[in-house]
Every structure is written in structure tokens, then in C-alpha cells.
Amino acid sequence: MIISEYIRELNYEPIIASNGKEALKILKKEAVSVILMDIYMPVMGGFETIKKIRDMNIPTPIIILTTATNESDLKQAAKNGADDFLIKPVNFDELKIRLNTILKVKIFYENKNQFFASLLNENIVALENLENLYKKNQNLVFELLEKMYLVSEFRDDETYEHTKRVGSLSKLIAQAMNLDSNLINEIYFAAPLHDIGKIGIRDNILLKPGKLTIEEYEVMKDHAAIGYKILSKSESSILKLAASIAITHHERWDGSGYPRGLKRNEIPIEGLIVGVVDSFDAIVSKRIYKDKRELKEGFDEIKRLSGIMYSPKVVETLFKIKDKIKTFYEGGKLN
């Protein structure tokens, strides 16, 4: 009750459940921004509750508040899907910092949970392989928190939504192209970071409501190299892929793109895919400098430039899943 009162003072509205079973009933009816729970609870304990929440495909970040210091218990909670831990008695200043941080980068936690869940749910990898993948990317949480915190300072809501759509659509195309299953999921997780370099572009250019001058456009093009610089030199395979996407998603099939002027298969497949998806979404979405256009116009534009700006194979795949994409933009889901 003390924690609930403190949360209210932070201008959040707590929803209280006395045990895991009660919490699951609430989560079936209401969407929440973050879940705070103990490991040791009556009726249904924390381990089972966390697992059931993730089995329900609820990606909400989970912070464990616990007296447990046993490493095996904390490891089990993390394996089941917990995102963070605070040892009781809870330090309120630390709780405030954790809540503020986790809500700013909520998209990261949601994607992380969906990423690992999809690997298991689709039987893409065995559990032991998933553990190896997790160990390989064990620093990903801390690195992406830093990157996504920077992005969270970016005030363009349209761009924020754009990044999520690019991740989802890129994964869909990668699946339709029958790429390696691990690469498919890494593209899904890395693609939303394609424009992270825009945090290095001045607001008077980035948020300009009208057409950019030639000089301003040259400055805007720097975001690809800036993104690569931010994401490169990481040990994480996902961030390495994100760096590749950042530097190549504006390269074009005929060599007219930037920053390196790569052409055809000199461009890695992840750059070819995100290049098409990024352009398509930009055409059919509202931006500060333009109104959105109809989906038909988006498909027509991409088809017209196939073999010129875009990979013919990627464009062909885009049209194979045309109906799914239409459903997605009309408010549906990509599954």
C-alpha cells in the first residue's frame, strides 16, 4: 500500500492485485504500462505468474520487487520473462528512476519480449539455442536502453510510430523471402533503429515543415553515417545488424543512393528490405512536411521504381504479401 501511494504521488494510477491469479484476471481486461510484482506470493507465485503473462503474449515490462537474493531464483524469473529487479525494502528514489526509464523505452521492452517469445512460439529454435542466443546478446538490454533513451528524446511522434511499422513490415518480408529464421527475428529487432542517426540532425532541418534545400538535404543524409557510428563496434549480433541497416537503407539498386553509392547485391539483404519498407511507409504515412497518400499510390510508386531504386526480388515479395500489408495499415495485425 505504501508503494501504491508513492506511485500515485508520481502521477501514475496503480491497479492492485493481491496475488498472481488476480493479476492475470486484470490483465485480460485492462492494458497496463508496467507490472510490479513479488516472486513469493500466495495462490499463484511470481515464477508461474510471469510465465503465464508471457504465454498470453503480453509484452508489458515486468519489474520484480523482492527480498530474494538467491541467484537461481532471480535467473529463473529472468528466464520466465522478468525485465528488471529491485530488492526490498524498496528505495523510492531508485523506483522512480526505474519507472521513468522503463516507460521512456517501453518500445524496447515490448520488442524484446515479443522477439524471444516468437523464437519459441514458432519453434524456430530449441530452448538451449535460445539461451545461447540470449548469452550472446546479454549486453543488448543495456546497450539498447542507451540507444532508445536517446531516441525517446526525439519529439516527432510520427517518426516514433514509423520505426515500429518498419520493424514489423521488414520481418514480414524477410519471412516471405524464406530467410534464415534467426536473421528474420534479428531484422525485426534491428530495423526500428534504422533512423537512430537522426538524433544528430538539427531540429530546424529534421522538423522542417517544408521541402529541404539542397544544402539541408545534404545535412539530412548524414543520419545514415551517424546511425552507423552509434550502433557499430557492438558485440551484439542484433546491434551489428542494426548498424548495417542504418548505413545501407538509403542505398539504391542502381547505385544512386547514399552514403556509399552501393548498387545491386553490394547492398546487404537487410538494407534492401528496410530500404523498400522505409520508402513505402514514408509514402503512405503523414509527415510534418506532407500528407499521407493512399496505399495504392504507395504500391504503384514502389513498383515503378523496382529495378531502379529498389531490389526487384524484395519488391516482388512486397506484392506477394500485399493483402496482409493492406490489413495492417487498416488497423489489423501482422499474423
List, for residues 211-255, the tens digit of each pLDDT value. 889 999 999 999 999 989 988 887 778 888 999 999 999 999 999
Q: Which of 229, 227, 272, 220 is nearest to 246 (CA)?
A: 227
CB 62 within 8 A of CB 39: no
Task: Decide which of 48, 80, 103 is a domain's last residue.
Answer: 103
DSSP-based three-state secondary structure for 252:
coil
Residue 236 sits in the same domain as residue 323: yes
Grid coordinates 498470453 are at which residue? 56
Residue 147 sits in the same domain as residue 161: yes
Asked, for residue 84, whether it belongs to a domain, the answer is yes
Determine which of 93-97, 138-142, 284-288 has the lowest per-residue pLDDT on average: 138-142
Task: Decide which of 68, 103, 138 is a domain's last residue.
Answer: 103
CB 184 within 8 A of CB 174: yes
Asked, for residue 72, whether it belongs to a domain, the answer is yes
The pLDDT, as a whole number, for residue 124 is 47
Q: How many domains does the chain have?
A: 2
Q: What is the pLDDT of residues 56-66, one digit of tens each?
A: 878 888 888 87
Mean pLDDT of 91-98: 82
Asked, for residue 265, whether it belongs to a domain, the answer is yes
The pLDDT, as a whole number, for residue 275 is 96
Share of the chain above pLDDT 70, in %: 80
Cα distance between residue 215 and residue 212, in whole Å: 8
How deeply is 94 buried, as exposed, middle or buried, from its count of CB atoms within 10 A (0-12, 13-18, 19+)? exposed
Residue 50 sits in the same domain as residue 181: no
Residue 70 sits in the same domain as residue 49: yes
The pLDDT, as a whole number, for residue 335 is 47
CB 302 within 8 A of CB 277: no
Residue 159 sits in the same domain as residue 280: yes
Asked, for residue 111, whether it belongs to a domain, the answer is yes
- Segment holding 86, helix H or strand E: strand 84-87
| pLDDT for residue 294 is more than 70 | yes
Task: Read off the C-alpha cell for 172.
Answer: 514480414
276: number of Cβ within 10 Å: 25
The pLDDT, as a whole number, for residue 118 is 56
Residue 290 sits in the same domain as residue 167: yes
Ramachandran angles phi, psi of 82, nearest 5° = -70, 145
Asked, for residue 197, whether it belongs to a domain, the answer is yes
Ramachandran angles phi, psi of 38, nearest 5° = -95, 165
pLDDT band at 257 (very low <50, low <70, confident <90, very high): very high
Residue 148 sits in the same domain as residue 293: yes
CB 161 within 8 A of CB 168: no
Residue 184 sits in the same domain as residue 303: yes
- Listing DSSP states for 94-111 in one string gives HHHHHHHHHHHTHHHHHH
227 is in which domain, residue-wise?
106-329
pLDDT band at 102 (very low <50, low <70, confident <90, very high): confident
Please report, as a single letter, which amino acid is at residue 134. Y
Asked, for residue 335, whether it belongs to a domain, the answer is no
Cα distance between residue 309 and residue 147, in whole Å: 29
Cα distance between residue 26 and residue 194, in whole Å: 36
Asked, for residue 119, whether it belongs to a domain, the answer is yes
CATH number of domain containing 66 = 3.40.50.2300
pLDDT band at 190 (very low <50, low <70, confident <90, very high): confident
H helices of the chain, in order, are 2-9, 20-29, 46-55, 71-80, 92-104, 106-121, 127-136, 140-152, 157-176, 181-190, 203-206, 214-220, 222-231, 237-248, 269-284, 295-304, 312-320, 322-329
Higher pLDDT, 200 or 49: 49
Mean pLDDT of 272-291: 86
Which range is most confident: 146-160, 178-192, 196-210?
Answer: 178-192
CATH number of domain containing 148 = 1.10.3210.10
Mean pLDDT of 130-148: 52
Mean pLDDT of 297-314: 95
Query: What value does the mean pLDDT of the chain take?
Result: 81
Task: Decide which of 79, 103, 127 is a domain's last residue.
Answer: 103
- Segment holding 65, helix H or strand E: strand 62-66
Beta-carbon contacts of 244 under 8 Å, excluding residues fewer than 6 positions away, are 268, 270, 271
| pLDDT for residue 72 is more than 90 | no
Q: Which of 268, 230, 234, 229 is nearest to 251 (CA)?
A: 268
| pLDDT for residue 188 is more than 80 | yes
The pLDDT, as a whole number, for residue 145 is 45
Cα distance between residue 294 and residue 250, in whole Å: 23
Q: Which of 121, 20, 9, 11 is nearest to 62 (CA)?
A: 20
Cα distance between the two ends of the chain: 40
Residue 193 sits in the same domain as residue 113: yes
Residue 7 sits in the same domain as residue 50: yes
Mean pLDDT of 132-136: 54
The pLDDT, as a whole number, for residue 198 is 82
Grid coordinates 547485391 are at which residue? 265
Asked, for residue 334, whether it belongs to a domain, the answer is no
The pLDDT, as a whole number, for residue 116 is 58
Residue 147 sits in the same domain as residue 112: yes
Cα distance between residue 151 and residue 197, in whole Å: 9
Residue 205 sits in the same domain as residue 89: no
Cα distance between residue 261 and residue 71, in whole Å: 51
